[in-house]
A and B are shown apart, each in its own frame.
Chain A
Amino acid sequence: MADLATRPPLLHLARSRLRLRPGQTGVVIAGLVLLVAVVGSLLAPLVWPLDQSAVALDQTRLAPSWTHLAGTDDLGRDVAHRAVYGLRVSLLVGAVAALVATVLGGVVGGIAGMLGGRVDRLLMRMVDTIAAMPHLLLGIFIVAMLRPSLGAVIASVGLTHWLSTARIVRSELLSLRTRPFVDAAISGGAGRFRVLTRHLLPHVLPRLALATTLMIPHAVWHETALSFLGLGLPPHLASLGNMINDGQGSLLTGAWWASLAPGAVIVVVTLAIAVLAARWRDRLDPRVRAELHL
């Protein structure tokens, strides 16, 4: 009880309410960052509307100041303001693309894992073949076939990132299928559908949800990369990749801040998601769980 008295009461309260232990501060910070990022990008159009096509040629390349927190770019646009809208796009693309990839990977991996045999071999060779191609290149092909738009970017990221999910789901199902509790269920009269929904999916779903979460930062980077290459959203729309790309030119004239804010936003937000997902993964792993006393 001694340390109870010496601890600052507010910190103690926060820790006990959140069931926090020392060392979990990173998780809390990551959670707050993500909360601010999500709430901020959701509320942005209401509290801080942006005219995407507006330029102010009398205010180009202003250094960061109190009026322009992250400076202005070479068209006089406020970098901080546009970064908020860029984050909106990135989070949307990241989340939707990760979801598309999960559903696709879940279905393919599910079919392969449940049916096994020839179907499994065929599907998995297909996965191997697609995986053999560089996925950024594949993504570029997909965007090039469609018109540059939000949908095209989502399709490009979603269609190139389902492979690992398919492999995870397949291998989980293959190993679960042979477990004695599945034998016991069959012997007890359960049909294929019952075994799948009652005994297999509930074991796979947490891993699948985790894989999706881990994929969001990756999908965000991918969107940024496509935009940076000029294959993402139309150039006048704020996206983190577009902004970093635009900022490149300003960099040579000494306006280093034009790329800094969008770059920093991407690093901080994806790091926050990754930290939370890693924590979640640890909770799922019984061995790590025992070590952490969860």
Chain B
Amino acid sequence: MTSPEHLLADEVTVGYGRQVVLDGVTVRVGRDETVGLRGPSGCGKSTLVRVLALLHRPDHGQVSIDGTPVHGVRYAVPVDLRTRVAVLFQSPRAAADPRLSLDDLIAEPLRAVRTPEATVRERVAELADLVGLTADLRGRRPHAVSDGQLQRACLARALVHRPDYLLCDEATAMLDASTQAHVAAVIRDYQRTQRAGVLVITHDQTLLDHWSDRIVDLAGAARART
């Protein structure tokens, strides 16, 4: 029996001060499946994404990747473990360093792990092509492109390490319909070809139904909430 292939948040509890946001939540994202996450505003969907992305330490509970429990968060997580989970944030404006050109934005994770520059350039070109960024756009800084174009670049950045798990936190909420469809299609293709696990948060019920293999209701995922 091989180790399980899933990203698991096991009985995770998170509170900010006295406010308990997640109370014993268990969510599993398997390889080769797309899980939709649903729940009312303020029920902790984004917090759950931050916990799964190893960016926020849960008060109780454990995150594990393919059966390997992860200790610590942020810088404390080994780089090869950290880069297996990627996040696509809701606001590309906030998620992009305003000083970097789109090319540098996509290349940054590769350069952070000392990839040879020739490989970086090749991979960036390949991904820019995949998400539909023209050569003209790639040299621009975030303030000179639209939200949709910037989110495409952020998607390319998220995929640059070929992550096993991709977490999309309302990643298409701020985009126009055609960009939304394109971004969703790129993610779906990636999920199929890489056998990746994808977690999708969206308020768009139609998108959720079309996109995900199964839907988890966060209100129902809590342990003792009846």
**Which chain A residues have a beta carbon within 8 Å of chain B's beta carbons?**
179-181, 183-192, 194, 198-199, 202-203
Contact = CB atoms under 8 A, between A and B. Distances in A.
Given A181-B95, A181-B96, A199-B97, A187 B112 contact: no
Given A185-B109, A190-B109, 7 more contacts: A181-B95, A184-B96, A184-B157, A188-B161, A189-B83, A189-B161, A198-B112
25 contacts: A179-B94, A180-B94, A183-B87, A184-B87, A184-B95, A185-B108, A185-B109, A185-B112, A187-B53, A187-B54, A187-B86, A188-B86, A188-B108, A188-B109, A188-B157, A188-B161, A189-B82, A189-B112, A189-B113, A190-B108, A190-B112, A191-B112, A192-B75, A194-B112, A198-B97
A181 B142 CA distance: 12
B193 to A, nearest CB: 21
Contacts of B109: 185, 188-190
B94 A181 contact: yes
A184 B89 contact: yes
Interface in B42-77: 50, 53-55, 74-75
Central interface residue in A185, A188, A190, by most chain B CB within 10 Å: A188
A186 B87 contact: no
Closest 6 CB pairs of A and B: A188-B109, A190-B112, A180-B95, A180-B94, A189-B79, A189-B83
Interface residues of B, number: 27
B199 interface: no
Nearest to A203: B99
A211 B50 CA distance: 35
B85 interface: yes
Nearest to A184: B95
Contact of B55 (A183, A190, A203): A183
Is chain B's binding surface mostly helix, strand, loop or mixed? mixed
A199 B95 CA distance: 12
Contacts of A190: 108-109, 112
B168 interface: no
Interface in B158-172: 160-161
Interface of B: 50, 53-55, 74-75, 79, 82-83, 85-87, 89, 91, 94-97, 99, 108-109, 112-113, 154, 157, 160-161
A194 B161 CA distance: 17
A180 B55 CA distance: 10
B99 to A, nearest CB: 6
Contacts of B74: 186
Nearest to A200: B97
Contacts of B79: 189, 191
Contacts of B161: 188-189
B141 to A, nearest CB: 13
A184 B105 CA distance: 10
A183 B86 CA distance: 10
Contacts of B83: 187-189
Given A180-B89, A192-B75, A198-B108, A186 B94 contact: no
Nearest to B113: A189
A28 to B, nearest CB: 29
A186 B55 contact: yes
Contacts of B89: 180, 183-184
A202 B99 CA distance: 8
A59 to B, nearest CB: 60
Contacts of B94: 179-181
A187 B113 contact: no
Contacts of B160: 188
A185 B108 CA distance: 8
A203 B99 CA distance: 8
B112 A188 contact: yes
A185 B112 CA distance: 8
